Amino acid sequence: MSADALLDRSLTEQVAALRAREVTSAALTEAALARIGRDNPRLNAGITVDRVAALSAAAAIDAKRSAGAEIGPLSGVPVGLKDMICTEGLRTTAASKILDTFIPPYDATVAARIRSAGGVIVGKLNQDEFAMGSSNENSAYGPVRNPVDETRSPGGSSGGSAAAVAARHCALTLGTDTGGSIRQPASFCGVVGVKPTYGRVSRWGVVAFASSLDQVGPLTATVEDAAIALDVLMGHDPKDSTSIVGAPESVAAALDRGVGGLKIGIPAEYFTQGCDEEVAAAVRKALSTYERLGATLVDVSLPHTPYAVATYYLIATAEASSNLARYDGVRYGRRAEAYSGLADMYGRSRAEGFGDEVKRRVMLGTYALSAGYYDAYYLKAQRVRTLISRDFARAFERCDVIAAPTSPVTAIGLGERVADPLQMYLLDVFTIPASLAGLPCMSLPCADRDGGGLPIGLQLIAPPLQEGRMISAAAAYEREVSHG
């Protein structure tokens, strides 16, 4: 099989071919770079391509393999990283003009783990600026086009990461998920996307948006591929104060457990009037597949779901207001060329460097934290967050995992909601609650698509630290529909 044809196969198949020496990492990386060069002017999935370093890393891996050295579970496959993830010597912009020239002197922990596992980082992927968006139209480097239908959005904020997998530029990419930014693009592009339990994967070296919500996770073509990636990424990091202590169990080891006797919770609040009928029907059909496989469907309630979006946009914007205060034109990042005095330099640098959505969220967050409004907004939102977490805890007393649509709609048209921020925010109505509760959750493609042939995402949510349970349920469904 040619290296170019191998790009269309799964991560698992690429690793097997590399280990069997049917192809070299250098050839596979060269093929990936060629495909990126062909498609990126049209799709705009990537911001920075690291051709020289990628080919050098691939050649080094091939030399190690020839010498009989152990390579690692990723075995020399090309990998793309969302541009929120710092990479030593490689520009990291967060898709913002304010970081256009920033070159980190270090790797984020997740980037280092990818490299140590044998992954070849080929470049940095487009996103909404500072991960603030649901359509990848807020990037300073232009919108990403969905490979399934190039008139449509790939979702956001990890739109470039999802598009790169869908276009088969890389079998594995990394994204970040704050309120749905891995799962919603996965749904729109028809790929698998996983947000682990908060604290399960290190955030050290990842540009911060909302620190109590941000989490790194993989996007892949298959559930098995996602499990392999999770085993590489998960684990305690002493550099991250929120990192969970202790060695996690292998997620890949749970792939074949099946769903016999599994109780799957169905939340009525996720099949509401706002959910597109075709989306709801596809998800219900997937649920009937689970019943056929031996799972039991259980009705559960998450009554505070209607308050999740408002809660999220108070907490996330407040944390963003604090985190983005560091971009002042002094320590790093863009500095305005013309200014009079320090305060004017701060104001002009931020005005020139931040896009409209980032400015909107910073202003919202600053207001919510201001004297006289803190208790009424931010503190109240934190209390509602607790209620949302308790809803999930009660639901998991009756079930093992929860299943629901990932998004209420399929991929929206580019430009369709740009002028209406509230409608854009509502795209994440089904992903935000689990983020607020810090739960592991994922999106995988339903067997059915909508009438226009657009992908529909099935979302699975598990109790804290139960990534294995979630992955085993996803793998059972994927095997059934792929072999059916």
First to last CA, the chain: 26
Residue 391 and residue 383: Cα distance in Å, rounded? 13
Number of helices and strands in the chain (H, E): 16, 11
Q: Which of 195, 45, 202, 42 is nearest to 112 (CA)?
A: 202
Candidates 134, 157, 202, 407; catalytic one: 157
For 178-260, strand residue ranges (E) read 192-195, 215-220
φ/ψ of 402, rounded to 5, equals -115, 140
Q: Who contacts 12 (Cβ-Cβ below 8 Å, separation ≥6)?
A: 222, 224, 225, 228
Residue 275, helix vs strand vs coil: coil
Candidates 75, 181, 202, 472; catalytic one: 181
Secondary structure element (H or E) that encloses residue 164, with its range? helix 159-166
Strand order in the sheet with 46-49: 46-49, 120-125, 78-82, 172-177, 215-220, 192-195, 441-445, 457-461, 401-405, 263-267, 296-300
φ/ψ of 27, rounded to 5, equals -70, -40
The CA distances from residue 258 to 86, 404, 439, 459, in Å, are 37, 19, 21, 17
Contact criterion met (CB below 8 Å) for 77 and 19: no
Contact criterion met (CB below 8 Å) for 256 and 277: no
* Token pair recorded at residue 106: 């270090």
* C-beta neighbour count of 347 within 10 angstroms: 15
DSSP 46-66: EEEE-HHHHHHHHHHHHHHHH
Candidates 10, 25, 75, 82; catalytic one: 82
| Catalytic residue status for 181 | yes
| Catalytic residue status for 157 | yes
| Catalytic residue list | 82, 157, 181
